Structure 1
C-alpha cells in the first residue's frame, strides 16, 4: 500500500475519533438516566462486546476461523486481497461472505414475526434492516477494497423510522435483497448459492403478528436502542479500523 494513501486517510480517521470522543458524554448521560436494571443489562452487553472484540483481534473465535476459510480460498495472505491486481478475487471473496450472511435472513424474519411488543420489535428490527442495507451496499462493490463503504446517515434514519412492523421490515428486506439479486454477476463463484438463498426468502411464509404498543415502556426502550446503536456504531468503526490495520500489517 502506498504510504501516501495512509497519510491521506489519517486526518479523516482522527476527525472521526474526535467526533466519537465528543459524543461520549451524551452516551454516559443517557446511560446514567436509565433505571439500574437496564444499566445492568447494557453493561453486560458491552462487556460481552468488549470480550468479543478482544477475541477477534486474538483470532480465537470460530467466526474468524470460518472467515479465514473463505478468504484463504482466494488468496495466500489476507493482504493480497488489497492489491489492485487481485480485485476480481477480492470481490468474489466479499460476495461469498455476504452470501453466507444472507442465509440467516429466514431465521431473522421468523424471530421478528414472533414478537408482540411494539417497543421490543422496534428494538430488534432496526439493527436487522440496517444490516441488510449495508450488505446491499457492499455486495459486488470494489470500493470496499479502496475505502470505506457505509450507508448514508439519512438512509439509516429512514430505516429506523420505517422498521416498525413486520410488513415494513419484510418490504425493506426484499427491497435490498432485490438490489443484490440484480447485481449478481454470472461469473461469480457464489452466484448460484446467492440466487438460491434470495429465492427461498421470497417464498418464506410468515404468520401475521399483532403488535401491542406499550407506551410507558417506549422512552426506556428508545433510550436503550439509541445507546446500543451508538455503541454498535463505535464497535463497527473500531472493527473496521482494526481489520484495516491488520491488512496493512500483513503487507510488511
Structure 2
C-alpha cells in the first residue's frame, strides 16, 4: 500500500510537499496525545491495527480524533471476535450481541485473535477507560453502532451469504454501519451536516466489497475453517464450490466470477462521490477520500486479474477524487472483454461513475494515478529510495 502511494507521488512530484506537510503535522499531533497510559495505548494500538487509517485519523481535530480513534478500536475488537474461527459459536454469538455493554466496563477483556489484535483484546480495558472520557454524544453513537453491528455479525455466524441481498446485508452490518457511525460522529463534532443513511451506507459497502474481493484467497484458506463472503447467487454461476475458483483449470470461470463481483461493487461508486462532494472539513474530506481512492484502484487492479485467485493515495480536494475515480474506472473499462457475461452491466456502472465525474466539471487535465507498465520497474527502484529517505526523515522528526 505504501508503495502504491509513493508511485503516485513519483508520477506527481507536486504532491510530495503536501504529504511531507501532513507527516510533519501528524508528528506535531503525536506530541499532543494525552500522556495517560490508556490514551498512549489506544493511539499506539491504532498505528498497529488500522493500516491505512492511522495517518488520516490523527490529523482530525482533537475531540473528533479521539472519538474516531476509540470508535475504530472498539469495532476492530468486535471484528477480532468475529474473525477468530477458533472461538466456538456458542461463545462467540452472545459475546457479539453483548459487546456494546462491555465498552462501559473498565475491567473487561477477552483473549482471542493473534499478534497485535490479541494485545488489543487482552488490554481492552484501556480502550474502555478512554471511551468513558469521551463526550456523551460520541459515546451514544459508538454504543449504538457497536450494538447493531454485533447483532448483525451474530446473525451471520449462523447464516451463510447465499443471495446478493444477504451479501448487501452482511456488508451493511460490518461496514455500512461504520459509514453511518462516522457520519454521526462528524455531525456531533459540529463540522458536517448529517449525511443520509443511504450515502453513508454506500461508503462502507464500497470499501467492504473491495476488501472481500481482494481477500478471496486469504479467506478461503483460513485455518481452522475457511471464511466465505462471496454470495452463492454469484459464484454458483461459475463453479460448484467457491474454493474451486482457485484451481488453474477453472481460470476462465474464475475471472468471469471475479468480474461479476467487481461489477457488483461498482454500483456504489456514484453514491461515494456524492457523499464526498458534500463534505466541508478538509481533514474529514481527506479521511474519507483516501480509502475510497484506494478502493477504486484496487477494483481496477483486480478486474480480469486471475492473480486474485493465485496468490493510498495522497489527495487534497474533491477534484482529485473525481480524477482518481475517473482514471481508475477508465483503467477498469479498458479491461472489460465483450464475451464476459457481466460486461454490459460493468460498463454501465463504469459509465455512471465517469458521467458523475464529468458532470462535476472538476476533472484536472493530465492527472494520472497510475503509469504504464514500461515505467514500473524504474518507479519501484525510485520508490525504495524514497521509502528509505522517509524513514530517515521520520527518525529526524522524533529527535
Query: Which one has more relative contact order, counting CA pairs under 8 Å at least 6 apart?
Result: 1
Distance, in Å, in 1 between the alignment partners of 2:249 and 2:117 is: 35
**1:216-227 equivalence runs, <5 A:** none
Cα shift at 1:92: 0.5
Runs of 4+ in 1 over 6 A off after TM superposition: none
1:131-142 aligned within 5 A: 131-142=295-306
What's the counterpart of residue 360 of structure 2? 206
Asked if 1 retains the 8 angstrom alpha-carbon contact of 2:325 and 2:353, the reply is no
Q: Give the CA deviation at 1:141.
A: 1.8
**Equivalents in 2 of 1:31, 1:123: separation in Å?**
21
How has the CA–CA distance of structure 1 residues 121 and 63 changed in structure 2, closer, same or farther, with 3 Å as cutoff?
A: farther
Question: Hey, what does 1:218 align to over in structure 2?
Answer: none
Q: Structure 1 131/44 Cα, relative in aligned 2: closer, same or farther at 3 Å?
A: farther
* Closer/same/farther in 2, CA of residues 32 and 118 from structure 1, 3 Å limit: farther
Alignment check: 8 A CA contact 1:110 1:206 kept? no
What is the deviation of 1:98? 0.6
For 1:137 and 1:19, the matched residues in 2 are separated by: 29
Residues 166 and 30 of structure 1, relative CA distance in 2, 3 Å threshold: farther
CA distance in 1, matches of 2:279, 2:167: 31
Render the CA deviation track for 1:83-116: whole Å, top value 9, x for unaligned: 3211211111110111111122112212222223
2:143 corresponds to 1:43: yes
Give the TM-score taking structure 1 as reference length: 0.59
Higher Cα radius of gyration: 2
Partner of 1:178: 330
Distance across 2 between alignment mates of 1:112 and 1:183: 27
C-alpha root-mean-square deviation of aligned residues, in Å?
A: 3.1
What is the match of residue 101 of structure 1?
Answer: 265
> Which residue pairs with 1:112 in the alignment?
276
1:196 to 299, 323, 348: 348
Distance 2:290 2:132 in 1: 23
CA distance in 1, matches of 2:132, 2:154: 26
SS in 2 for 1:75: coil
Query: What is the CA–CA distance in structure 2 between the aligned matches of 1:120 and 1:170, rounded to whole Å?
Result: 17
Deviations 1:146-194 (A, max 9, x none): 23xxxxxxxx3xx2x41x4211111121222122122223332222322
Contiguous gaps of at least 5 residues in structure 2: 1-112, 169-229, 363-399
Structure 2 length-normalised TM = 0.39
Asked if the contact 2:255–2:304 (Cα under 8 Å) also holds between the matched residues in 1, the reply is yes
Residues 1:21 and 1:207: Cα distance change in structure 2 (over 3 Å): farther
- Secondary structure at 2:339 match in 1: coil
Cα distance change of structure 1 residues 52 and 77 upon mapping to structure 2, 3 Å threshold: same
Query: d(CA) in 1 for partners of 2:248 and 2:256?
Result: 14
